[in-house]
Amino acid sequence: MFNYSDTNKRYHTLEYANRQKYQTKVAKLSIDAGYTCINRDGTKGTSGCLFCPGKNISGFKDTLSITKQIQRQQDIIQRKWPLAKYQLYFQSFSNTYAPFEINKKNYDLFRQIENVISLAIGTRVDSLSDKTLNYLAELNNEITVSIELGLQSRHDNTRALLACGYSWSDFVSCVKRISLSGCEVVVHIINGLPQESTKQMLETINALNPLPIQGLKIHMLHLDSTSPLAAEFLDLKEKLLSQEDYCDIVIQQLRNLRPDIVIHRLTGDPLASNLIAPKWTLNKISVLNMIDKKMASLDAYQGDYA
């Protein structure tokens, strides 16, 4: 009944998309390449977006060389999936926010590693130069290139509250630029942001549907002790979504989302030692199982409301 699944999943999983495209398991090699951010270096701000951890997305800075970071992860992956191919994922902060020569050197690493079939570049909508985008478009003729953009919410007032420093119109313009380049676009959103209603979270999904995007990551807001949000909004602890409410909202979002959009994540991976709340976000399997069971009980599928 659902064209984008060959398992019990009722949404378009990344695993399914990779099997269809590459006929094999694709494992992610996450890289901290030492980038900073326009919202941290003083250009737009010094503390970053309020929800962002102090060191990087995982809450600590990886001090190993990129080569050693990759080898460490490959050693683990090869024991579990010896035939896996790889995606190089430039994850921490804004991985286009450097002089072009540095960006080119980093992206070209894929040529030195066997079985890399795609690049994923996490960045901001205000940190992608034409020169870097043009080069990524060239690479896209050799290897799949996806550019991951943080949106978080459709609503400018929400992002202003979080000190993100970019607008909805900035985001739309960047998506259109990337689309013209031929690279894929993957969007990050966060549920449970301060002062946002369920209606507003659904409006974010509905606003994405007309845009030329190929992937989506959905996260729950969590309070990381190293983030500015934890220091400034600790009173939010009692207002954060419960696991059941979060899953109900995600299901509504999936049902309103175009079915061809690939779901890369439905929950995040907070660092346990830094997590203040909600603690249920540590149990990723429980969250995904609840979503699967609820969708089955509702006979719901991604896009059946779209």
Q: Give how far Cα 300 sits from Cα of 209, 215, 247, 305, Å.
A: 18, 20, 13, 9
175-191 pLDDT, tens digit each: 999 999 999 999 999 99
Considering the chain, what percentage of its residues have pLDDT values greater than 70?
94
How far apart are the two ends of the chain, measured CA to CA in Å? Answer: 16
Q: What does the pLDDT read at residue 59?
A: 46
The C-alpha atoms of residue 214 and residue 55 are separated, in whole angstroms, by: 29
Of 296, 197, 187, 194, give the one whose Cα is nearest residue 245. 197
Mean pLDDT of the chain: 93
267-288 pLDDT, tens digit each: 998 999 999 989 999 999 999 9
Question: CB of 153 within 8 A of CB of 190?
Answer: yes
The C-alpha atoms of residue 161 and residue 170 are separated, in whole angstroms, by: 17
CATH of 14-298, one of 3.30.470.20, 2.30.36.70, 3.40.50.720, 3.20.20.70: 3.20.20.70
Q: What does the pLDDT read at residue 84?
A: 94
Lowest mean pLDDT: which of 29-33, 53-57, 108-112, 134-138?
53-57
Q: What does the pLDDT read at residue 61?
A: 54
pLDDT grade for 236, boundaries at 50, 70 and 90: low
Q: What does the pLDDT read at residue 235?
A: 61
Residue 233 has pLDDT above 70, yes or no: no
Q: What does the pLDDT read at residue 230?
A: 80
